[in-house]
Amino acid sequence: MKEIIITKEEVNQRADKYLLKYFNKASKSFIYKMLRKKRIKLNKKRIVGNEILKENDVFQVYMSPETIDKFSCLDVNNDINITFEVIYEDENILICNKPVGLLSQPDKEGSVSLVDEVTAYLINIGDYDPSITKGFRPGICNRLDRNTSGIVIAGKNILALQELNRLIASKKLDKHYKCVVTGKVDNEAIIDGYLSKDSITNKVTISNKENLGNYIKTIYTPLKVIQGYTLLDVQIITGKSHQIRAHLASINHPLIGDYKYGYRRINDKIKLQFGVDYQLLHAYKVKFNVSGGLLSYLDGKEFVSEVEGRFMEVWSGLCI
């Protein structure tokens, strides 16, 4: 029998979610089977998995050492290249500037993601030890498409990550993007609708019918207009997959470089001229609106990552 003691870095999460992180090589069905058979107990009592963990709670695991080792093998690699820029960091959160081409989260092919880089970074600076806190992994609270650059916020401990997720769910974080769209946009506007996603094509569609998807709301403001193109500030009130790209395309102002939702003829022209075949979209600003709690010290603070790199090269080239 092995005992697993819950540390202060692992509290306030469901028992089953903790076990899935600790036994990271085990399936969900295996974990629930062990709970049903009372091969895993909490404080010597049978549990179902939805119990919330407290500091110094103790799991009793009635499995052989070989089985425990097999299902709890560490697979963290801290010897990887860190490509993100640190915008802000304290004991609770890390605000990153994700580059174009980097996945936000790991995929099935095992590509290095921002989560992997953040984990490696925190290990290397001594803020995270996976051998001690197997039941917690640093995580990000907002995701960007592979070819969308900009601000991503990570929680360095379980309480901070949960608070960040709560702030996003309650719309207490103002998130702004910059993008270049086809056509002339003269005025600020608010657009809304309903978004549905095709899991096979990984493409979303926008409708005005409530029963056809999740509600979305987007605010856009023109910053500069040149011949045939507009630089926009876009604030997302809701945060759904491909929301900005699909929403702007639905009003005939798709992002340039966006082959999934944009105009191929214009995108081919941009690709030939600048060598860019992805959407020009950058998450450049986030503002915290926090009335209390762990992250109350961030109330009113604004963090900015200005547009640079290929995005700026293309926009500057279009302005000539």
> What is the arithmetic mean of pLDDT over 235-259?
94
How many residues are recorded in the chain? Answer: 320
In 3D space, the residue among 107, 190, 175, 90 whose CA is nearest the CA of residue 141 turns out to be: 175
Mean pLDDT, the chain, whole residue set: 92
Confidence bin at 129 (pLDDT 50/70/90): confident
pTM for the whole structure: 0.88
Instruction: Give start and end residues of each alpha helix (H) in 156-292.
Output: 158-169, 243-250, 264-274
Percent of the chain having pLDDT more than 70? 100
Query: Which range is least confidently modeled, 52-66, 126-140, 145-159, 235-249?
Result: 126-140
pLDDT, tens digit, for every residue of 18-56?
Answer: 999 899 889 999 999 999 999 999 999 999 999 999 999
pLDDT beyond 80 at 109: no
SS3 at position 256: coil
Query: Contact at 8 Å (CB) between 111 and 101?
Result: no
Neighbours of 104 (CB within 10 A): 17
Confidence bin at 219 (pLDDT 50/70/90): very high
